[in-house]
Structure 1
């Protein structure tokens, strides 16, 4: 199956095939749900998605899963080294690192803007020192580099039936919606890492501070002020999903089922949060397995029909 994907993508050089294979293995090992989602894309699209995922995963783990004994200064130094190495290799058009080799090839094949990667590094640096965001403007500055640019990076791979610049705002909004959903679901988990990704002024408006969130996390219970705050955040996220939705129809038909399924499952997390009366502290909110299987089966059916009707050129 890997050989078929590489052949379909026109990747023939042995060192490139090995580089993309290493990215695929990383995705399969660490991003199982994401890896399964890539199966809804055409074989030709998958290597690039694996490369972009591997790049983001490596940097995210560097910040969020540091080696024992690491300090903020040592992680910052590693991040700077990774940044300088990546952009140096990108300028040279080659790398000795397999993951970078695959990413550089993907960037060149699909014309992905370099500034998307610069913004991603900026947000990764913010995670080393920023533990809260005073308002939504500050949070969105972080989210642009950590979530929106992910949508913008994969957009050329997914393909569009309109100008890429027309689809870009919707792709960025979808990346933001997914991350905001994670922030809301994982309040307790992020708090344990010393971070709060809900705007401070919006929490203040409901009488909620870090100590109150900490009480909810410790007791796995939710009080009225926090419930109102979580409900208000959910409503804001719904509005971002609404901004993103028109972009699905702008994608190439073979890419729509994959993105539509992700849209359905992630927005379904908000449904589950609401069904739990907004108590995101009692346990990790998940979409039921039956619903996930139904969505996946439906998407695979749509994928096969789309490939038959309008194959990727």
Structure 2
């Protein structure tokens, strides 16, 4: 594992920061084989930063998606736990230190890469909306869906983009394309996850992220497939503008979600409420290898 260089020369702080990086890496290893694989394709200057972002948002997501409730916290206590996490995150971003290893790692990434509350607060707002909907079934209309997806996913793509571009120079036009691509990729990932998690979201979490309280029909599924396909196409167009040591990872993640989308498109909507669509590990490995091969043939930026 390549750690972010420790701040200053103090060995105690360096040791603590390395432990924080290790904790973040363990979070992504535990929760996501797909994103864990993608981060391995990143250049060493990006890899740990992206893992640190993933770990911070994953912990927040777990607060609202069942872990806190399973631990015995009611809705009020979950709200308090999230508020405490938000305050601790933002405090750590200001001072560059936290007693929480995950937040310490994230704070160092945020400060080095220019990630501010303009991106973290919308994310936490979407997480808070999940707590607010915990007691009754919540059906998201188009506007609510758009707000939720921006906060829960698009801003995470923008955080990663700030990591990739922190040592880079791009024109205003290029930045506009990259920003749009990062948002579209985040939105596509989230919408695919909504489709493949229909059973859990509907039955356990009592949420209808894809609009309406009724069950999706095959026609509804097809419309979402078209939406996600367009989002992925937009994101793909921005990849050549990324630094070369970020492209293979982004291509690999995009290809994985395209593969998921193809499987969703072939699955009757009724079955999406019964089982989670997956891509076998050998296919994931093949998609990653192809992403590496394509990127190797490209010129550096």
Would you say same fold, with TM above 0.5? yes
The 3 A distance-change label for structure 1 pair 45 and 11 is: farther
Match of 2:262 among 245, 264, 271: 271
- 1:99-158 deviations in Å (ceiling 9; x for gaps): 111111101111123211111110000001234344211111111110000000001222
Q: Any unmatched runs of 5+ in structure 1? A: 201-208, 214-224
Superposition pairs of residues 90-239 of structure 1, within 5 angstroms: 90-130=93-133, 131-159=137-165, 162-163=170-171, 164-192=175-203, 193-200=205-212, 209-210=213-214, 213=215, 226-239=217-230
CA RMSD of aligned residues (A): 2.2
Separation in 2, partners of 1:76, 1:240: 32
Separation in 1, partners of 2:43, 2:294: 12
Q: Any unmatched runs of 5+ in structure 2? A: 8-13
- 1:71-93 deviations in Å (ceiling 9; x for gaps): 11110010111111222232233
Q: Match of 2:90?
A: 87
Task: Indicate the SS of the match to 1:254.
Answer: helix
- 1:43-63 deviations in Å (ceiling 9; x for gaps): 221111111111011111111
* Structure 1 residue 55 corresponds to structure 2 residue 60: no
The 3 A distance-change label for structure 1 pair 45 and 168 is: same
Task: Indicate the SS of the match to 1:286.
Answer: coil
Question: How many residue pairs are counted as aligned between the two chains?
Answer: 283
Q: TM-score if structure 1 supplies the norm length?
A: 0.83
Structure 1 residue 302: Cα displacement: 4.5
Between structure 1 and structure 2, the one with the greater Rg is 1
* 8 Å Cα contact 1:132/1:198 also seen in 2: no
Q: Match of 1:221?
A: none
Q: Match of 2:253?
A: 262
Separation in 2, partners of 1:301, 1:232: 33
Separation in 2, partners of 1:138, 1:114: 21
* 8 Å Cα contact 1:132/1:199 also seen in 2: no
The 3 A distance-change label for structure 1 pair 310 and 246 is: closer
The 3 A distance-change label for structure 1 pair 305 and 18 is: farther
Q: TM-score if structure 2 supplies the norm length?
A: 0.86
Separation in 1, partners of 2:248, 2:159: 19
Q: Match of 2:10?
A: none
